[in-house]
Chain A
Amino acid sequence: MSTPGETAGETVESAREMLPDNSFLIQYPHVSRVVRSLFLTAFVAFGIGAFMGVLQALHRTGIARIVASSDYYTLLTLHGVLLVIVFTIFFLAGVFTWANTRSLDRPPVSKRFTWFWVVTMSVGSAMAGIAILAGLIPSIGMSADVLFTFYAPLQAHPLFYIGLAVFIIGTWLAGIDWFRQYLAWRGENTGERIPLQSFMVLTTMLMWFIATMGVAVEVVVFLIPWSLGIVPAPNPLLTRTLFWFFGHPVVYFWLMPAYLLWYTVLPKIAGGRLFSDPLARVVFVLFLLLSTPVGIHHQYVDPGIAEGFKFIAMTNTMFLLLPSLLTAFTVVASIEHGARQRGGTGYFGWLKALPWRDPAFTGMTLAGLMFAAGGFSGMINAGMNINYLVHNTIWVPGHFHLTVGTAVALTFMAASYWLVPRITGRELYSRPIGLFQVVLWFVGMVFMSAAMHRGGLAGIPRRTAEPQYPQVTFETVAGSVGSLRLQLAFGGVLLFVSALLFLVNVGLTAMNNEPARGLDSALPPALSGPEQSPTVLDNLKLWALIAVVLVILAYSLPLYSIVQGAGLYPPGQEATPAVLAPLLEVIA
């Protein structure tokens, strides 16, 4: 606590002196600063994105329409881009910077290079964000209401696409930074196993390098020149396919950092040890191999892709369930081990021995639980036949608010309660508020996501400002559409309140003058360590090569036939308004 007369700076200095020498902040003050600045951007994006979320929830249910429906796509683009591109990726970059440094026990090779990619990512995000926001002010003449999937022929201002490209380059540089850090470690530790957290960072980044090839080609070769008026509108099927080449693996880019936290931090908080290090490595290798050659499962209803390719994508997708099921087993086993170390007994009695009061533990556990529900609805999405039932309905946002919107976002919030004191040296402002906040997110999401799933089954479309049609009545399984709307909006409001509580709690933590306690971030060794696994698991070159081969097998024929079919620039393709004009004439 501060005493009157002391300046905040002095208090922090004296607070820092009270931190143990082996705490992360004392060992790596500079890396801590990098992580803090990444987290700050992530949290700002989260706050704005959550605000857009509640506006949408109130708007599309007709409860409160604060903006014009014609601006709905501006909000929705902002919501999608800020939450799933900026919030998630900035936060995970912070987690990876922390985890790679901690587990290799050395800072990145060059401070300058590290700040260079932080700035690159930030500038890219700012460019895209400005282009989207400008859409709210017509006089600027700039807009990017293209949603986070930016399908052509919907067209955004070039600033949006260029910002996106700059951002992606920033993430590549970040990956290079983490690899350099690893290679420096390798130079001094020949023959040793890669430390687990670093292994997870490196496999994730290899996956990311492969996955972003699709979006890089889409944006740089087609969308930027098109938006600048240099080339005609591209073949929409081609750019969609390139988008989903990246769009599926990006979900693992969000998820793998959450898995990193579940595998390495959660067992420690639960008072136990990771059940199996080799299993964790196998899971990350499987994600590296299988994340990319499945993207076509987002295109089951796209004409112009042969059913056979869709079938292959579906099969790969079902295999991709395996690493998630392995994760469920390993993480629960590790938590149970922790509970038994804390004196828990019985078949289920051990559950009572877990640290439920700790927001970091409870938040991550609730996130994992919701991920199980999201996995089930994901299997429905992935089935070629049953996908037609839910495609493009509000079911789909119902699904991914459980996965990225909770499994990832709630894990990140919960982990912040553990990590922010470690990179600021300040004690968490309030654990009870933290606990209430993570539980409120869970409850809010149960309301909102259940209503979305059921609304989708009734046929209510997604991405619609006013999904109310006088000619159509939606048939629900149970309850009325009116009650589903209320449920969706109520859940959205709870989620927004939860987001605010999180931001306030973290903000007050950053200003808290009380030094953090119990900062030890050493991770206990796994029950079954890496020495029990074949060393080939650590052969990153081999896995990267196989991953590339699988991608070539999965994508070369579909891409070839798409280009054969309609060419790169099919005649008669122009930007949206022009394409819609004849249609509107017919209707009028």
Chain B
Amino acid sequence: MSRLSPAALLIVGAFMVPLFIELPVVLSFVGVELSMTASLGIGVVAFTLVLIWSEISEKPEAADA
């Protein structure tokens, strides 16, 4: 049993988009250069991690929770 339903994943994913779109801008304020492609790449990795966290529950008893 996954921790997040498809709908919840959709919402979490949606909320991550503005964060990674604005990340290069925020970093540029402190002189760090990050390209948009790299930032969105990090976003994809972050979302994949959320997905893995959601699908793999460590405790087996959580499986039927």
**Footprint of B on A, CB under 8 Å?**
356-357, 362, 366, 432, 435-436, 439, 442-443, 446-447, 450, 454, 477-479, 483, 487
Contacts and interface: CB of A to CB of B under 8 A. Distances in A.
B17 A487 contact: no
Contacts of A356: 7-8, 11
Contacts of A442: 14, 17
Contacts of B24: 478-479
A13 to B, nearest CB: 35
A483 B36 contact: yes
B21 A478 contact: no
Contacts, number: 44
Contacts of A432: 7
Interface in B1-34: 5, 7-8, 10-11, 14, 17-18, 21-22, 24-25, 27-28, 33-34
A299 B36 CA distance: 35
Given A356-B11, A357-B7, A446 B33 contact: no
Contacts of A443: 14, 17
Contacts of A447: 17, 21
Interface string B27-49: 11000011111000000000000
A454 B21 CA distance: 11
8 contacts: A356-B11, A357-B5, A366-B14, A435-B7, A439-B10, A439-B11, A442-B17, A487-B21
Contacts of B14: 366, 439, 442-443
A447 B37 CA distance: 13
For the complex of A and B, the 6 pairs showing the least CB-CB separation, nearest first, are A478-B28, A478-B24, A479-B36, A483-B36, A357-B7, A439-B14
A450 B7 contact: no
Given A356-B7, A435-B10, A479 B18 contact: no
A371 to B, nearest CB: 14
Given A478-B28, A478-B33, A446 B21 contact: yes
A69 B28 CA distance: 35
Given A450-B22, A483-B36, A477 B28 contact: yes
A474 to B, nearest CB: 15
A481 to B, nearest CB: 11
Given A454-B25, A477-B28, A478-B27, A446 B18 contact: yes
A49 B6 CA distance: 31
Contacts of B18: 446, 450
Given A478-B33, A479-B35, A483-B36, A436 B21 contact: no
A357 B37 CA distance: 31
B7 to A, nearest CB: 5
A19 to B, nearest CB: 28
A583 B54 CA distance: 64
A362 B17 CA distance: 16
Nearest to B38: A479
B36 A487 contact: yes
Contact of B10 (A436, A450, A454, A479): A436
A362 B11 contact: yes
A439 B15 CA distance: 9
B25 A478 contact: yes
Given A436-B10, A446-B18, A450-B18, A477 B25 contact: yes
A190 B54 CA distance: 59
Contacts of A357: 5, 7
A494 to B, nearest CB: 10
Which of A435, A443, A478, A483 counts the most B-chain CB atoms under 10 A from its CB? A478
Contacts of A435: 7, 10
Contacts of A483: 35-37
Contacts of B8: 356
Nearest to B23: A478
Nearest to A358: B7
B39 to A, nearest CB: 9
A432 B7 CA distance: 8
B3 to A, nearest CB: 12
Contacts of B28: 477-478
A228 to B, nearest CB: 49
A280 B59 CA distance: 48
Contacts of A454: 25
B21 to A, nearest CB: 5
Nearest to B10: A439
Contacts of B33: 478
Contacts of B17: 442-443, 446-447
A446 B25 CA distance: 14
A174 B20 CA distance: 45
B51 to A, nearest CB: 16
Given A446-B18, A477-B28, A478-B33, 13 more contacts: A356-B11, A357-B5, A362-B11, A432-B7, A435-B7, A435-B10, A439-B11, A447-B21, A478-B24, A478-B34, A478-B36, A479-B24, A483-B36
A588 B27 CA distance: 46
Nearest to B14: A439
A447 B20 CA distance: 10
Nearest to A362: B11
Which of A443, A447, A450, A477 counts the most B-chain CB atoms under 10 A from its CB? A443
Nearest to A352: B8
